[in-house]
């Protein structure tokens, strides 16, 4: 009796999951793409409406919360970093511009022989041949990720000039405080 109820509920759940008639992934036809209600007469940019919905925003710089997470070996920072980076693509300039895909993050302990300066989370990227490589999370690598075209629905946000100026100002003030 119990297994029958569980099976029925699973069938109903699967049926509900298959019906996706709302949201950015809703099904529509070619006629819907051509239909524009003559909105251009009212100053509406039709091309902007036809762009894929933004499903994910990637900040191509080290965010404030991220600095604390990178050196903390815990499940919460690992999950936050994985959510930010997983699935992003970039080119490895040292390896004939081979495209790499980030599959997750991995904790690496300090190891001088491997060139790991501090214990921290590293990006784990896979190339087209399936070979894995670890990449440090730093602004240079984030610039590389931000410069590479990503999948539709991923919006790249780069640092503004104002953010760069504020950081520079904070570094200068910090330098003055440490010299006092």
Task: Identify the CA nearest to 105 among candidates 131, 78, 129, 132.
Answer: 78
Identify which of 135, 127, 76, 143 has the alpha carbon closest to the alpha carbon of residue 105: 135
Please report the pLDDT score of residue 76 as a whole number.
93
Task: Residue 108: name the closest of 100, 99, 116, 96 by CA.
Answer: 116
pTM above 0.95, yes or no: no
Strand residues in the chain grouped as ranges (E): 56-59, 89-92, 98-108, 120-126, 132-136, 154-157
- Residue 18 pLDDT more than 70? no
Residue-level pLDDT at 38: 74
SS3 (DSSP) at 3: helix
Torsion angle of the four alpha carbons 120, 125, 131, 134, in this order, in degrees rounded to the nearest 10: -20
CA pair distance 55, 37, nearest whole angstrom? 26
The three-class DSSP label of residue 80 is helix
CA distances (Å), 87 to each of 22, 56, 123, 166, in order? 25, 11, 11, 31
Residue 155 or residue 16, greater confidence: 155
Of all residues in the chain, what percent carry a pLDDT higher than 70? 83
The CA distance from 88 to 135, in Å, is: 13
What is the spatial distance between Cα 95 and Cα 112, in angstroms, rounded to a whole number? Answer: 23
Q: Is the pLDDT of residue 23 over 60?
A: no
Better-scored residue on pLDDT, 20 or 63: 63
Q: Is the pLDDT of residue 34 over 70?
A: no
Confidence of residue 50 (pLDDT cuts 50, 70, 90): confident
Helix, strand, or coil here: 132? Answer: strand
Question: CA–CA separation, 157 vs 77, rounded Å?
Answer: 21
**Mean pLDDT, rounded, of the chain:** 83
Check residue 73 and report its DSSP letter: -
Convert the pLDDT of each residue in 67-96 to its tens digit: 889 999 999 999 999 999 999 999 988 888
CA distance 86 to 180: 43
């Amino acid at each position: 009796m119990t297994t029958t109820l569980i099976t029925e509920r699973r069938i109903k759940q699967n049926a509900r999951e298959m019906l996706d008639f709302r949201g950015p992934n809703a099904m529509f036809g070619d006629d819907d793409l051509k239909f524009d209600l003559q909105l251009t007469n009212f100053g509406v940019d039709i091309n902007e409406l036809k762009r894929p919905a933004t499903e994910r925003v990637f900040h191509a710089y080290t965010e404030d919360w991220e600095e604390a997470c990178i050196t903390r070996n815990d499940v919460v920072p690992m999950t936050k970093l994985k959510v930010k980076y997983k699935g992003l693509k970039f080119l490895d300039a040292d390896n004939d511009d081979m495209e790499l895909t980030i599959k997750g993050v991995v904790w690496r302990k300090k190891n001088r022989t491997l060139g790991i300066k501090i214990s921290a989370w590293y990006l784990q990227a896979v190339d087209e041949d399936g070979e894995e490589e670890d990449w440090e999370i730093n602004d240079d690598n984030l610039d590389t990720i931000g410069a590479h075209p990503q999948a539709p629905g991923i919006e790249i946000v780069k640092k503004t000039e104002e953010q760069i100026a504020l950081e520079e100002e904070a570094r200068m003030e910090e330098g003055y405080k440490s010299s006092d």
